[in-house]
Amino acid sequence: MNEPQFLYLTTLGWKTGKKHRIEIWYVKCNRKYYVISEVGASAHWVRNISHNPNISFSVNGLNFVGLARIVNPMKETRLAAEVSELMNVKYKWDQGLIVELGPLDFDARQLRS
């Protein structure tokens, strides 16, 4: 079975409080999901996460609630390198700010759409 190309990430607007949903490339590594902002911290969704790390996202028919955080490549060199390699293999691209999406612990199969 082929892995989906996209996940759907929902953040809360830091000014408006409204839900903001994007479609974005991702990779999965060690039970967490990783996305990359090609415009870095200036992306609206990254700014939203910086103000409120609570997120929801869906991938391959599964829905998750979790927390997001920006990966610091200077302090987390191994993780950043692993995510970059996975992105390169999947998309032939790995440039930008890496953001980790950590699902909260629950059985996501119960939330199938």
Domain segments of the chain as ranges: 6-105
Cα separation, 13 vs 19, in Å, equals: 6
User: 110 near 61, Cβ under 8 Å?
Assistant: no
Q: Please state, for a pLDDT cut of 70, what percent of the chain lies above it.
A: 91
For the cut 80, the answer to whether the pLDDT of residue 101 exceeds it is yes
Q: How far is CA 19 from CA 25, 59, 70, 110, 111, in A?
A: 19, 17, 20, 23, 19
pTM for this prediction: 0.90
In 3D space, the residue among 95, 78, 74 whose CA is nearest the CA of residue 25 turns out to be 95
Q: What is the pLDDT of residues 36-85, one digit of tens each?
A: 999 999 999 999 999 999 999 999 999 999 999 999 999 999 999 999 99
According to the model, what pLDDT value does residue 2 have? Answer: 76
CATH number of this structure's domain 6-105: 2.30.110.10
